[in-house]
Chain A
Amino acid sequence: MLMTISVLMENKPGALMRVTGLLSQRGYNIESLTVARTLDPSLSRMTICVDVEPRLRPLLIKQIHRLVNVLQAADLTEAPAVIREMVLVRIRTSLDNRTAILKEAEIFGARVVDSSVEGFALEASGDPEKLEEFIAVMETYGEIEVTRSGLVAVSLEPKRLKLAPPIPRAHPQSEPAHTR
């Protein structure tokens, strides 16, 4: 079953690899992945869509959370969240279909981002299922080429971000680990 995970992590080299590595070492196939920095440029937000057995979902979240660079990891599969995707569709079409295509595009809220004698480039965004329908409809008009952005999600539950405070390292540490 597809699971949607939102991860807030430090924007550091290798941080992405730690998350994707954790998934790939368990043999999970990533359906989509988006990542970009947040308002705070030292952090990145990542949305992952991955096929995971439902009973393993809580464990996976805890294991992602355990990664040192990860500040927050949330399972948005069934949580209140807005999940969106963007798709770019290039369609080659004969002149007869152009008006119909534009009408359909309008129904799906898609925008024309390029127009030529050969056809259009359309941009649509929204609920991933709606986009599936849009693509299916466009396919009926001719040869299409599709690029999807992957899911981006935002949780609607307020969650305070708790950060670990700085750790003083003033003195030589020679005592055994457990006494620290």
Chain B
Amino acid sequence: MAQTMSGARILMECLQREGVEVIFGYPGGVTLPLYDAMYEGAIRHILVRHEENACFMASGYARSTGKVGVACATSGPGATNLVTGLVDCMMDSIPVVALTGQVSSKLIGSDAFQEADTFGITRSATKHNYLVKDIKDLASVIHEAFYLASTGRPGPVLVDITKDVLQGQAHYQPVHAIHLPGYKLVTEGHAGQIRRAAQMMWEASRPYVYAGGGIIASGAHEELRELVETLDAPTVLTLMGLGALPGNHPNFISMPGMHGSYAANMGMYECDLLIALGVRFDDRVTGRLASFAPHAKVIHVDIDPAEIGKNRAADLPIVGDAKKVLTKLVRVLKETAPEMKPLREKERREWWNQIRAWQEEHPLKPVFSADEIKPQHLMVEIDRISNGRAIVSVDVGQHQMWAAQFIRFDRPRTWLSSSGLGSMGFGLPAAIGAQVAHPDALVIAIVGDGGFQMSIPELSTIANQGLPVKVIIMNNGYLGMVRQWQDLFYQNRLSAVQIEAFPNIEKLADAYGIRGRIVEKPSELRPALEDAIRHPGPVLVDVRVSPFENVYPMVPAGAAINEMVLAPPRPVEVPA
């Protein structure tokens, strides 16, 4: 039944049809009609304090649920502030729809107040973007945006809507079909390739599973576990993939790459079959490409054909959705197991022995001290408190790597990290997005003293919304990762990395009406964290850690994955 509605109401109607529960946004001049349509509160709106954080919150919401996150901003500065968040979603393949207002179509190109070329600026920051200048296009564009964001390789989609479209009136009829003739998805996976892949897996002496964000995006974690167990293959998970296999699973080695464990990287180097599932051979994983997995044949499963062979040629490519491909792959593996499994049993046993030996030789060992809190100690305590159940979001830098090394994730979508873009200021707003989606979950934001200061405004959002986010600041007084590189590669000439005049967190928290605490002694750490978790509301904990700790192991930029710098020898004390 067609009825006359304003563009803003049509937009709200479409959002409701897409099942949108919450919008993270900030209003402005040209989005006035939209905010008027929101007045009745059909969809919850979270008023952020900066648009960049609206996008990070939508990202945290999407990462922790798998649903499309929605961010909203006005034209000009509102839209340009979204850009970092969009690129973050682009790099990590996160489904977000960003709605921006644009000046009236008659004013476009006239340098009108708060006009910016949002469509042009976000072209490369999105999977696809739209400029809506005709109200007739609005409904189908909104549905296309959600479809594009959430299918295939997920990603951000921006819809820029002119004020006259939002204000105008049109007959609205629900959209029954959308047309995207050029958007062809290959999801099933080639049956012959899948059979050949199974054959290769049985024939390998040193198979190695390298799985990533694609497993989580497609919800293939159960299928991954079945595959890994059927094959009994050692498995590494990328920064994007943590939680795809339970952290205590016996086949899980750890994260590979620049700060991966010794065993994970040696395994990468020595394997003879690399089973790459939903990964993109990122430079932080591979190190020097020419020496990456030099003895291995590569099976590469990815939904995006453009990822196959991008960085490393695949001996056997399979384009398809990880869940669908792995389901079939597991079926073939199980069928062929009785005949094929004994084939390389001896070699496989030796392979496992080798991996266990590497693990024992150089385990990821936390560092403790009785005098000062070591950052690794902090992560171990957070791990103890989470026990695999918390949703943990991190910022970017040293704390991110230590968290990835020492915190265990048992379920997918419980680890939120700006992995590809490495955007500081992500951790706190992403935690807000996750907490909005999971009001009863324990959500912990681990941030550095640098990144935290990029997100301070959102403490107001936390207080405003009464969100019980636990913000733990790993405070080493430095931009630690940059300091580490200056230490290792620039003769320790520490340039612009010391963070002075860090605010008094107890006073700061107090100013926002939330609980704050400073922790300086190792003995205070556990009680302080336990208290933070017990407290029903939001908490800020400023944990003063030793300033000059470096993250190890480390594959220096440009080095091969087996050329790790291991931790310098130091006494290890285990706390009582």
Q: Is the CB of A62 within 8 A of B306?
A: yes
Q: Is the CB of A179 within 8 A of B19?
A: no
Q: Cα distance A168–B167 when bound, in Å?
A: 28
8 Å CB interface, A102-116 against B: none
Q: Cα distance A77–B189 when bound, in Å?
A: 30
- For B146, list chain A residues within 8 Å (CB): 173
8 Å CB interface, B119-169 against A: 119-120, 123-124, 127-129, 131, 143, 146-148, 150-151, 154
A136 at the binding interface (Cβ < 8 Å): no
Interface residues on B, range: 35 or more
Q: Cα distance A21–B124 when bound, in Å?
A: 8
Q: Cα distance A162–B83 when bound, in Å?
A: 34
B65 at the binding interface (Cβ < 8 Å): yes
- Beyond A68-B182, A162-B184, A164-B184, whether A58 also contacts B309 by CB under 8 A is yes
Residue interface mask A131-171, B partner, CB < 8 A = 1? 00000000000000000000000000000001110111111
B16 at the binding interface (Cβ < 8 Å): yes
Q: How far is the CB of B432 from chain A (nearest CB, A)?
A: 20
B217 at the binding interface (Cβ < 8 Å): yes
Q: Cα distance A166–B17 when bound, in Å?
A: 18
- Beyond A18-B123, A65-B306, A169-B147, whether A178 also contacts B218 by CB under 8 A is yes
Q: Is the CB of A169 within 8 A of B143?
A: yes
A83 at the binding interface (Cβ < 8 Å): no
Q: How far is the CB of B340 from chain A (nearest CB, A)?
A: 30
Chain B residue with the shortest CB-CB distance to A43: B181
- For A71, list chain B residues within 8 Å (CB): 181-182
Chain B residue with the shortest CB-CB distance to A42: B181
Q: Is the CB of B17 within 8 A of A172?
A: yes
A-B interface pairs (CB < 8 A), number: 105
B310 at the binding interface (Cβ < 8 Å): yes
Q: How far is the CB of A169 from chain B (nearest CB, A)?
A: 5
B345 at the binding interface (Cβ < 8 Å): no
- Beyond A167-B147, A169-B175, A176-B65, whether A9 also contacts B217 by CB under 8 A is no
B300 at the binding interface (Cβ < 8 Å): no
- For B357, list chain A residues within 8 Å (CB): none
Chain A residue with the shortest CB-CB distance to B148: A68
B179 at the binding interface (Cβ < 8 Å): yes
- Beyond A164-B180, A180-B151, whether A59 also contacts B306 by CB under 8 A is yes
Q: Cα distance A68–B305 when bound, in Å?
A: 14
A117 at the binding interface (Cβ < 8 Å): no
Chain B residue with the shortest CB-CB distance to A167: B178
Q: Cα distance A75–B321 when bound, in Å?
A: 27
Q: How far is the CB of A24 from chain B (nearest CB, A)?
A: 9
Q: Is the CB of B176 within 8 A of A170?
A: yes
- For B315, list chain A residues within 8 Å (CB): none
A70 at the binding interface (Cβ < 8 Å): yes
A99 at the binding interface (Cβ < 8 Å): no
Chain A residue with the shortest CB-CB distance to B142: A169
Q: Cα distance A171–B16 when bound, in Å?
A: 10
Q: How far is the CB of B312 from chain A (nearest CB, A)?
A: 12
Q: Cα distance A178–B63 when bound, in Å?
A: 12
- Beyond A14-B131, A172-B18, A172-B19, whether A177 also contacts B179 by CB under 8 A is no
Q: Cα distance A9–B180 when bound, in Å?
A: 11
Across the interface, B67 reaches (CB within 8 A) one of A63, A67, A176, namely A176
B113 at the binding interface (Cβ < 8 Å): no
> Which of B148, B154, B219, B306: most chain A CB closer than 10 A?
B306
- For B502, list chain A residues within 8 Å (CB): none
Q: Is the CB of A177 within 8 A of B95?
A: yes
Q: How far is the CB of A55 from chain B (nearest CB, A)?
A: 10
Q: Is the CB of B179 within 8 A of A179?
A: no
A13 at the binding interface (Cβ < 8 Å): yes
Q: Is the CB of B306 within 8 A of A68?
A: no
B177 at the binding interface (Cβ < 8 Å): yes
Q: How far is the CB of B499 from chain A (nearest CB, A)?
A: 33
Query: Which 10 pairs show the lowest CB-CB distances between chains A and B?
Result: A174-B19, A176-B66, A178-B219, A177-B150, A62-B306, A163-B181, A166-B177, A68-B128, A71-B182, A169-B143
**Chain A to chain B contacts (Cβ below 8 Å), 14 pairs:** A18-B123, A67-B182, A162-B184, A164-B180, A164-B185, A167-B147, A168-B176, A169-B178, A172-B17, A173-B150, A176-B65, A177-B95, A177-B217, A178-B220
B interface residue numbers (CB < 8 A to A): 16-19, 21, 65-68, 95, 119-120, 123-124, 127-129, 131, 143, 146-148, 150-151, 154, 175-185, 217-220, 304-306, 308-310, 321, 323
Known: A176-B66, A177-B66; 18 extra A-B contacts, CB below 8 A, are: A9-B182, A14-B129, A65-B306, A66-B304, A66-B305, A68-B148, A68-B180, A164-B180, A164-B183, A164-B185, A167-B147, A169-B143, A175-B19, A176-B67, A176-B219, A178-B218, A178-B220, A178-B321
